Amino acid sequence: MAVVDIGEHFAVEELATLLLIGIPLWLLTWFGLERRINSGDAEEQRTPIRRIYLLLLLGVGSIVAVGALIPTLASSIQDALNSEFGWETLHSNQVGLALVLTVSSVAWYHLTLYRHDRREMIPPPSMAPARSVILVSSNGVDLASELAIKTGASVMRWHRIDGLTDAAVDAEALAEQIRSSTAEDLLIVLGPTGLQLVPFEA
């Protein structure tokens, strides 16, 4: 008569239940946050909780992967030395191999996200020393936010009330002008004919 370990049976059911509930909830939450970041939510990308989560997952994932890899390698090397390496070796180590591949894939995905976040948050060495930028425009809210992200400077927008509209502005070209400036404080005035970039001393 076969003996069934009731405790092990319930443990497997409990684990399966946690996975079936937890994974969809994690996917909904995580990819919702990623959509916010891809839509330009820089604050979400800079939150300490996100960095802690990524670092913690990378650390735990590395430990789990190494822990699963060691016995798998030991078993494979032993079979190879005994000239018994074959499909039976792979079959007996299938759980360890699956765990290594799964954890490594998840860790690599989160490592890619962590490196991307680092590139977005750390300004390049060539960035200008400009600490503050005043943007005078009739409608430049989005431009002010974009310049702050691209240059790392503190951008303040002043609304002009003379009724003149702003000409189209290339945000990347303007950000490059700010980065290449040697002034610490800049005044940018947008108007119907273009823009003026004026360095000043506060």
Domain spans of the chain, in order of start: 46-121, 132-200
pTM of the model: 0.41
CA distance 69 to 146: 45
Q: Name which residue leads in pLDDT, 110 or 179.
A: 179
Report the range of poorest mean pLDDT among 41-55, 132-146, 151-165, 170-184.
41-55
CATH of 132-200, one of 2.60.40, 3.30.450, 3.40.120, 1.20.58: 3.40.120
Residues 82-110, mean pLDDT to the nearest whole number = 76
Write out pLDDT tens, residues 107-153. 887 788 778 777 766 555 544 455 788 888 887 778 888 888 888 88
Mean pLDDT confidence for 21-38: 72
Q: The sheet that has 154-159: what strands, in order across it?
A: 154-159, 132-137, 185-191, 194-200
HSE value, Cβ hemisphere, 13 Å, CA-based, for 101? 6
The stretch 163-188 carries a mean pLDDT of: 85
